[in-house]
Amino acid sequence: MIFYDCATAPSPRRARMFIAEKGITVETRQIDLRTGEHLGAEFLALNPRGTVPVLVTDDGNVLTENLGIAAYLEARHPEPPLIGRTPDETGLIWMWTAICEHQGGLPVAEALRNSSPAMKDRALPGPVPYAQIPELAERGRARLGVFFDLLEERLSESRFLAGDSFSLADLTGYVFVDFARIVKLRIPEGHTASQDWFDRIAARPSAQA
Amino acid sequence: MIFYDCATAPSPRRARMFIAEKGITVETRQIDLRTGEHLGAEFLALNPRGTVPVLVTDDGNVLTENLGIAAYLEARHPEPPLIGRTPDETGLIWMWTAICEHQGGLPVAEALRNSSPAMKDRALPGPVPYAQIPELAERGRARLGVFFDLLEERLSESRFLAGDSFSLADLTGYVFVDFARIVKLRIPEGHTASQDWFDRIAARPSAQA
């Protein structure tokens, strides 16, 4: 396997944490997003959508999305399970992963990419230029507030997002919450269940990977 | 199991097709999105995010996202496989499912919800009102063009999106391509590989479910 990573970006961090939780070692190559290496001819030949993470499997398949990478690694390395042991666990984990992507990941990306001067005409990842939409940055910030409330409600009743055990869903939510600092948003004061959950994940070795 | 469906909407259609492909029968309740039943107190008590599909499992867990529902059903009813038999197949299928959601599903939703007068202040699903952003409708239409090109490139080299067999990824892409008619966008003339793929899926009994 070869893992294409970028140490400073949230999307590849999700895959990096997943790999670390599995306790496996994968040959890793850094792609420098700041210098535009992901949009250069060499990397686009590997992933035409110009995004990291990418995992090239032992069979030579190129997996370009976090969901694909996680599902592949879970099937190859089932222990410790990060996507459940039973149908219900698996369903709840994919569900909370999807919720974190749609309610947390997209809003923080919208808030950042539609407001940062450095991301002018790069409001979406990849080689196609898209103009910034300032209202979308504002909407992203508002949605992150909704996401923080959703997390607090869920984590007040459940130790981890999908149940009693740490999973792909927690890792996904954690990375987006941590990344929200880039738009100066954090878990609100008084959201004690979310803050406790965040601190527990931050203390895992994978969070430093 | 109880399946909460809406016969006129694309998201629950994905779950409905998945169930049909599995050849199972699930008790189904229709939620009428046109009359706002999904935002009524009764349905919000089941799914606070106010979206269909929802699948209540035999153990009583409430699965509110297509990815969770598909993963649960695949684990409960492995045959015929729709999310792969090998780690590589599974990784590629989740990858192409994610690509279809992000590059096809989100753009068609943005194009519709940010332009339709009937969706004023409902630019996103769920109970929180969000104002329409006209530029986002335009961007959604542009992105659908990119998605159609992406599909054509992939399907020129592969019989189905993730390989030789029909999967969750095809079902996902098909539903979004079909739904794009609502914003008057269709597979472009000359995209013969995509059109052939679309026609093959449309001929499956699940497409009529």
Q: What is the pLDDT along chain B (209 residues), one digit of tens a residue?
A: 999 999 999 999 999 999 999 999 999 999 999 999 999 999 999 999 999 999 999 999 999 999 999 999 999 999 999 999 999 999 999 999 999 999 999 999 999 999 999 999 999 999 999 999 999 999 999 999 999 999 999 999 999 999 999 999 999 999 999 999 999 999 999 999 999 999 999 999 999 99
Report the number of distinct structural domains present in chain A.
2
Q: Does B95 touch chain A (CB under 8 A)?
A: yes
Task: Provide the shortest C-alpha distance from residue B62 to chain A (in Å).
Answer: 8
Question: Strands B2-5 and A54-56: what pairing?
Answer: unpaired
> Would you call A51 helix, strand, or coil by DSSP?
coil
Does A203 touch chain B if contact means CB atoms closer than 8 Å? Answer: no
With a threshold of 0.80, does the pTM exceed it?
yes
Please say whether the dihedral angle defined by the alpha carbons of residues B143, A63, A114 and A118, taken in this order, is positive or negative. negative
What's the CA gap between A166 and A200, in Å, rounded? Answer: 10
Do A67 and A156 fall within a single domain?
no
Same domain assignment for residues A72 and A107: no
Residue A4 DSSP SS3: strand
* A151-169: pLDDT as tens digits: 999 999 999 999 999 999 9
Q: Which residues sit opposite B62 in a β-bridge?
A: B56
C-alpha span between B102 and A128 (Å, rounded): 14
> Among A71, A85, A81, which residue's Cα sits nearest to residue B88?
A71
What is the model's pLDDT at position B88?
98
- Do the domain assignments include residue A161? yes
What pLDDT sits at residue B20?
98
Task: Enumerate residue ranges in chain A where pLDDT < 50.
Answer: none
Q: What is the CATH number of the domain that holds B120?
A: 1.20.1050.10
Cβ contacts below 8 Å, chain A against chain B, sum to: 124
Cα B75 from Cα B73, distance rounded (Å): 5
Window 11-50 of B, Cβ < 8 Å to A:
48-49
Per-residue model confidence (pLDDT) at position B67: 98
DSSP states of A60-79 as a string?
--EE-SHHHHHHHHHHH--S
Q: What is the pLDDT of residues A112-140, one digit of tens each?
A: 999 999 999 999 999 999 999 999 999 99
Q: Could you say which residues from 143 to 172 on chain A have a Cβ atom under 8 Å away from some Cβ of chain B?
A: 143, 146, 153
A99 and A60 assigned to the same domain = no
- Residue A18, domain CATH: 3.40.30.10
Q: Tell me whether B66 touches chain A (CB under 8 Å).
A: yes
**DSSP H or E segment with residue A28:** strand A27-30
Same domain, A92 and A72: no
Domain presence at residue B81: no
B200 and B171 together in one domain: yes
Cβ atoms of residues B140 and B113 within 8 Å:
no
Q: Is A81 a domain residue?
A: no
Contacts 24+ apart (CB under 8 A), A10-15: A10/A105, A10/A108, A10/A175, A10/A176, A10/A178, A10/A179, A11/A51, A11/A52, A11/A53, A11/A66, A12/A52, A12/A53, A13/A175, A14/A53, A14/A66, A14/A70, A14/A171, A14/A172, A14/A175, A15/A53, A15/A55, A15/A66, A15/A69, A15/A70
Please count the helices (runs of H) and the strands (runs of E) in chain A: 8, 4
Using an 8 Å CB-CB cutoff, list chain A residues near B90. Answer: 71-72, 75
- Identify all chain A residues contacting B69, using CB atoms and an 8 Å cutoff: 91, 95
Please check whether residues B21 and B113 belong to one and the same domain: no
Q: Are residues A183 and A99 in the same domain?
A: yes
> Which residues are bridge partners to A5 per DSSP?
A30
pLDDT for res A20: 98
CB distance B69–A88 less than 8 Å?
no
Residues B25 and B57 in one domain: yes
A75 lies within 8 A of chain B by CB: yes
Candidates A48, A90, A136; nearest CB to B71: A90
- Which residues of chain B does A146 touch, with a Cβ-Cβ cutoff of 8 Å? 128
Q: In terms of residue numbers, what domain contains A69? A: 2-76
B116 touches chain A (CB under 8 A): no
Mutate which: A88, A122, A154, A156, vs B, most B CBs within 10 A: A88
